[in-house]
Amino acid sequence: MTTRDTPRLELTGITKRFPGVLANDHVGFAVQPGEIHALLGENGAGKSTLVKMIYGIMQPDAGEIRWNGQPITVTSPKAARRLGIGMVFQHFSLFEAMTVLENIALGMDAKIPARELEAKILDVMKHYGLKLEPRRIVSTLSVGERQRIEIVRALLLNPKLLIMDEPTSVLTPQEVDQLFVVLRKLAAEGCSILYISHKLHEIKALCDTATILRGGKLVDTCNPKVETSRSMAEKMIGGSLKDIQRQPGAQFGAEKLVISDLSIPAAGHFGTALKGISFAVHAGEIFGIAGVAGNGQNDLLLALSGEVLSARPEAVTVDGKPIGLHAAKARRLFGMATVPEERNGHAAVPVFSLADNAILTARDRLGLAKSGMIRAGAAWTYADEVIEAFAVKATGPQAMAESLSGGNLQKYIMGREILQKPAVLVVSQPTWGVDAGAAAAIHQALVDLAAKGSAIVVISQDLDELLALCDTLAVINEGRLSKPMQVAGADIEEIGLLMGGIHGDAQATAAAKEALAHAH
């Protein structure tokens, strides 16, 4: 990395205020030409606000943006693109029913004849090794392919700065590797890349410089190749990171949760059908379910919680008792507790107090309601207990659920279920959008619950989380679950292939691995 006199992009004293929160407080850093610069921080640290101002979606309240040394005002995303700033968003804006080519054409500011555009697209794709079929309909493409459309769209404008917002959160490990190849090539050609992420090992592998934000303030600008993941994480959360404490060599007990040949038809247009899912979780075991978003994770959670019933009672058994035909209320009494991924409006009622939210799922096991009447005092005491035990930052049991930050509400919800001492706990995306400190606390609570003899299922898209937390791991793809494997001896490459849709038969896996080896 050579330091030149004029950085490509330089921010000084950028400040942005929203009602009740200072999103960016005098943030300043510089991105050199050809540099891959990481913007690192927890949710709510102000990363998104900052890049929205660089891309012209918002205007800073104070501070200066310099582009190639010139002070500028980026009035709109269109103006940003004209300057040579491209952005690939975390959530894609693509029309499902149109082809790749049509989608790219719609996103262009200038009118270019279709034939010319197609030639240009093929050119860009060939140059960067981005595999895409221009005539394919978007709805048939995988998430990774959709992201490539967005990248091609950005690259067609010959950007001098490319902003990538959490690009790997929906990709399989193999797709991540392919993306990194493209980004390195771009950087080598002199394009600067602003890479937003909270995945530290990716930043270590890819980036030249890392700017760390916390609470809207600049904490540090450092070299991620020199720093450790741990040191960066601690800068990010502003405290020391706790490791998960677990007892080595713990033995599993009897089978607690047994799912046998669970099949559920797809719910509505956006659901995924579950096809013959079978697995067993023992007392003391943490069972992970990995997979790319939208492969039936949510459907599986609903089928376990009892919000969707199975066809046969034996499809779901807890402690040997078949409960496949029991609904949510009854399943809880058998010891099945669940935490869906959506906190607001599914796991909790946003406009209800924490005490009322305790009644929502704990009323029967803990007697928070008696002969049709709410026992407000008991609900209050339990909510207070959860707040205390899980260090939830809230004004008290009367606080509205919606007034809590995502991480705090998640801690409360996890606490609400864990303190009920369930025989089986199923959680989906337990640490999604949760800061690292809260995530560590949640992980520890899950490990402690397992140590006390509960069976735990963790459904997550975050493979790192599963590898750190689980004893056993299976992959869900298009509503099918792979064979479980021991995490201790797990092969990341195989997990990645399973996530990408090669189902657990050994031959196909071997063949795919070989093909991959040839490609390298």
Binding stretches for other proteins (CB under 8 A): 15, 17, 19-20, 59-62, 305-307, 327-330, 332, 338, 340, 342, 345-352, 356, 359-361, 363-364, 369, 372-374, 376, 400, 403
159 closest CA partner among 27, 332, 340, 31: 31
Sign (positive/negative) of CA torsion 321, 327, 330, 336? positive
Write down the H helix ranges in 367-471. Answer: 376-389, 406-418, 436-451, 463-469
Q: Rank residues 222 and 400 by Cβ distance to other proteins and give the closer one.
A: 400
Q: Rank residues 18 and 95 by Cβ distance to other proteins and give the closer one.
A: 18
Q: What is the smallest separation between the CB atom of 330 and other proteins, expressed in angstroms?
A: 8
Q: Rank residues 347 and 449 by Cβ distance to other proteins and give the closer one.
A: 347
Q: Rank residues 374 and 516 by Cβ distance to other proteins and give the closer one.
A: 374
Q: What is the smallest separation between the CB atom of 112 and other proteins, expressed in angstroms?
A: 35
Q: What is the smallest separation between the CB atom of 503 and other proteins, expressed in angstroms?
A: 31
Q: Rank residues 362 and 481 by Cβ distance to other proteins and give the closer one.
A: 362
Residue 260 identity (one-letter amino acid): S
Q: Rank residues 7 and 340 by Cβ distance to other proteins and give the closer one.
A: 340
Q: Give the helix/strand (H/E) hosting 126.
A: helix 114-128
Q: What is the smallest separation between the CB atom of 367 and other proteins, expressed in angstroms?
A: 12
Crossing angle of the two packed helices 376-389 and 354-366, in degrees rounded to 10: 100
Q: Rank residues 13 and 69 by Cβ distance to other proteins and give the closer one.
A: 13
Q: What is the smallest separation between the CB atom of 346 and other proteins, expressed in angstroms?
A: 5
Q: What is the smallest separation between the CB atom of 398 and other proteins, expressed in angstroms?
A: 11
- Largest separation between any pair of C-alpha atoms in the chain: 76
Contact call for residues 45 and 215 (beta carbons, < 8 A): yes
Q: Rank residues 19 and 489 by Cβ distance to other proteins and give the closer one.
A: 19
End-to-end C-alpha distance for the chain, whole angstroms: 26
Q: Rank residues 55 and 195 by Cβ distance to other proteins and give the closer one.
A: 55
CA 382 to chain centre: 30
Residue 438, token pair as written in the block: 């809260």
Within 59-183, strands assigned E span: 62-67, 70-72, 85-88, 161-165
Q: Rank residues 376 and 447 by Cβ distance to other proteins and give the closer one.
A: 376
Q: What is the smallest separation between the CB atom of 15 and other proteins, expressed in angstroms?
A: 7
Q: What is the smallest separation between the CB atom of 92 and other proteins, expressed in angstroms?
A: 25
454 closest CA partner among 483, 479, 478, 420: 420
Q: Give the helix/strand (H/E) hosting 146.
A: helix 143-155
Q: Rank residues 195 and 382 by Cβ distance to other proteins and give the closer one.
A: 382
The SS3 call for residue 174 is: helix
Q: Rank residues 292 and 404 by Cβ distance to other proteins and give the closer one.
A: 404
Q: Rank residues 174 and 298 by Cβ distance to other proteins and give the closer one.
A: 298
Crossing angle of the two packed helices 492-499 and 173-188, in degrees rounded to 10: 100
Q: Rank residues 62 and 114 by Cβ distance to other proteins and give the closer one.
A: 62
CA 517 to chain centre: 29
427 closest CA partner among 246, 298, 323, 280: 298
The two beta strands, 255-264 and 274-282, are antiparallel
274 closest CA partner among 316, 326, 320, 327: 316
Q: What is the smallest separation between the CB atom of 513 and other proteins, expressed in angstroms?
A: 41
Cα–Cα distance for residue pair 431/438, rounded to 1 Å? 8
Cα–Cα distance for residue pair 196/41, rounded to 1 Å? 8
CA angle 277, 146, 143 (to 5 degrees): 20
* φ, ψ of residue 512 in degrees (nearest 5): -65, -40
Taking phi first (over 0 means left), then psi (-120 to 50 degrees means alpha), and beta for anything else, what does residue 425 get? beta
Q: What is the smallest separation between the CB atom of 256 and other proteins, expressed in angstroms?
A: 21
Cα–Cα distance for residue pair 232/230, rounded to 1 Å? 5
Sign (positive/negative) of CA torsion 496, 502, 503, 506? negative
Cα–Cα distance for residue pair 53/219, rounded to 1 Å? 19
Crossing angle of the two packed helices 114-128 and 143-155, in degrees rounded to 10: 110
Q: What is the smallest separation between the CB atom of 274 and other proteins, expressed in angstroms?
A: 18
Q: What is the smallest separation between the CB atom of 51 and other proteins, expressed in angstroms?
A: 18
Q: What is the smallest separation between the CB atom of 59 and other proteins, expressed in angstroms?
A: 5
Q: What is the smallest separation between the CB atom of 345 and other proteins, expressed in angstroms?
A: 5
Contact call for residues 450 and 443 (beta carbons, < 8 A): no
